[in-house]
Structure 1
């Protein structure tokens, strides 16, 4: 019983963690290309 509860608890925690990581990754991906593109253009310009 406790083993099943532990598995469910770990599963819920893992799901929440993955959701948080996915949200953070989406925010970073949304803001990153602009800075990355500016960095490339600055590097190419010298």
Structure 2
């Protein structure tokens, strides 16, 4: 079964950057955890 092709729009990239900055301000490394989890989800749905 083929996976999906994921496209992240520029607006979503900006939202992710803002979420990263906010979360990392709450706790160092939390923004990275968000991106790592999102990357894992994208890889799972794309494969």
Report the TM-score range of the alignment, normalised by the length of the smaller protein.
0.3 to 0.5
Structure with more of its chain in helix, by fraction:
1
Query: Normalising by the residue count of structure 2, what TM-score does the alignment of the two structures yield?
Result: 0.41
Higher relative CO (CA 8 A, sep ≥ 6), structure 1 or 2? 2
Query: Which entry has the higher C-alpha Rg, 1 or 2?
Result: 1
Query: Normalising by the residue count of structure 1, what TM-score does the alignment of the two structures yield?
Result: 0.42
